[in-house]
Structure 1
């Protein structure tokens, strides 16, 4: 498995496993542990969480499994996110859906995540969404305290646009090592608006959430999806696969920004498709066949 360097002393596996739907897989803690081990046997060692996933349940479910074999912790990298506040029966004190990137909230959220995940450190903490009410000085102070206390080793953001990431970067002593953003052939927004350009500029490889566009590429009966399916099948025949998901992953992995797709499936065969794509390299011609299918016209 390829690995991506985000800092001098910090790497992630090129394919990241996402735990957003862990509570939907109906696994016992023993089955969860077995699944984690099987994923790691594929050399996928990075696991993506957020405090809110599964109605504030997924971190705890993962931690229960990890608690059965604590030796795995040093062999994996744990990402989690904070900053979104959701009303939930698991958080009765929350009054509304909003964002909170205050120092107090970030530190409290991390301490809860550490308890839930049964670990004493987080490898990478991301601010989950841009916060229009953010006080970046407070956010930076939270990062510094968490880093100095050894509770978080590295920091980044999620869903931030170019200006938002540049703004926060001016306040933080801790480098922002990544931006977790939506990247897939169906939605080109972050390819076109400078967001991905900033990842290259900062040498901060991005993570791609929803790399398969939430199934829209396979299910939508509209011209854009139909064009993309035709293009994916064409390129698949050229690179030796009849699996459209492998072509999509290859399209992302071939990009020079060192994109790290997040695979959020509980099915090992889906994870295998992402891993298989690492062996497939698209030419510029092949990459643009898919890009132009999404645009609906040739590039200028």
Structure 2
């Protein structure tokens, strides 16, 4: 499994295991969660993607209950903060909102450390752009959690280039990644400037929902699905692996985040790294995703 270096203190596996559905599983026991992590590690997937809000603010604790010191040493933990939804510990909130204040960021970091039973977060992301963000306050808070040693690196999620530049302008610590939605069904980041911005600055991108949230397989994209299956059959894998490989083939160094609770599917996540994809095959799939040939 290839690895991507984000800064001097942190590198992550090219494929990332997303834990947003961890609390949705019928079995959330520590042993079962350890089996999922073991299936990832067997493929060289060492990076686990969390967020405070996942599972109604319960997924981090489910992970924490499964971690042992030896297991913690073998993985990188990503988590996110700033979404406040009226559930769990924020049940008294009157409205779902974003909070990028210093007090909220510091409290969220402490909650995450406590729930996951860890002494540092490898990568902390601001989950959503906050239209009420005071970039000086937010930037200083992110600098503070890095300086304290509680967080090794910081980044953002779902930010546009101008959001990134605003926050970065008030920080001493470099932002290292932006986690955005990219897939064959959501390919506009390749043309709207999002990918180009980070590619220009050498910042790896994390891609959430790389299979379109399952929509790629809902029966509405028959030609694209057939071509994915054809390529998969040629290379001894399945259509999902080919769809993820389409992202891996791009020179922007995209890190797809894949989440499933099925152990067999988890064991096949790494197949995407084995798929060979040349430029014409990439454009073949892109053309089918567009629904027409490029201009």
TM-score, reference length from structure 1: 0.94
1:10 is the counterpart of 2:6:
no
Q: CA deviation at 1:242?
A: 5.4
- Aligned ranges 1:246-285 → 2 under 5 Å: 246-285=241-280
Residue aligning to 2:32: 31
**For residue 135 of structure 2, what is the aligned residue in structure 1?**
136
Cα offsets for 1:218-240 (capped at 9, x unmatched):
1143xxx2232133234334x42
CA-CA distance at 1:79 after TM superposition: 0.3
Task: Confirm or deny that 1:236 pairs with 2:232.
Answer: yes
Give the distance between the partners of 2:242 and 2:6, measured in 1 at CA.
25
Provide the secondary structure at the position in 1 that maps to 2:268: helix
Q: 1:234 to 1:30 in 2, by over 3 A?
A: closer
Select 1:286's aligned residue among 278, 281, 288: 281
Question: How many equivalent pairs are there?
Answer: 294
1:56-78 superposed Cα distances (whole Å, 9 cap, x missing partner)? 00000100111xx2222122100
Change (3 A) 1:34 1:241: closer
Q: Please say if 1:219 is aligned against 2:214.
A: no
Distance in 1 (CA, whole Å) between partners of 2:61 and 2:94 is: 22
Contact 1:19 1:58 in 2 (8 A): yes
Write the deviation string for residues 242-291 of structure 1: whole angstroms up to 9, x where unpaired. 51101101111111111111111122332333311212221100000011
Deviations 1:126-169 (A, max 9, x none): 00011111110011111121111110110000011121112212
Structure 1 gaps, min length 5: none
Mapped partners of 2:273, 2:237: distance in 1:
16
Q: CA deviation at 1:100?
A: 0.7
Please report the RMSD computed on the Cα atoms of aligned residues, expressed in angstroms.
Answer: 1.5
Write the distance in 2 (CA, Å) between the matches of 1:234 and 1:214.
21
Alignment of 1:46 with 2:40, yes or no, is no
The answer to whether the 8 A contact 1:39-1:268 is kept is no
Does residue 170 (structure 1) correspond to residue 169 (structure 2)? The answer is yes
Closer, same or farther in 2 for the Cα pair 1:43/1:236, shift >3 Å? closer
Aligned to 1:19: 19
- Which stretch of structure 1 is more off in the superposition, 266-275 or 207-216? 266-275
* Contact preservation (8 Å) 1:249, 1:274: no
Which residue number corresponds to residue 59 of structure 1?
A: 60
CA–CA distance in structure 1, aligned partners of residues 243 and 126 of structure 2: 27
Instruction: Give the drift of 1:44.
Output: 1.1
Question: How does the TM-score come out when normalised to structure 2?
Answer: 0.95
Tell me the residue number matched to 1:107: 106
Q: Is 1:81–1:127's contact at 8 Å kept on the other side of the alignment? A: yes
Unaligned runs of 5+ in 2: none
Measure the CA separation in 2 of the matches of 1:151 and 1:28.
27
2:195 is matched with: 196
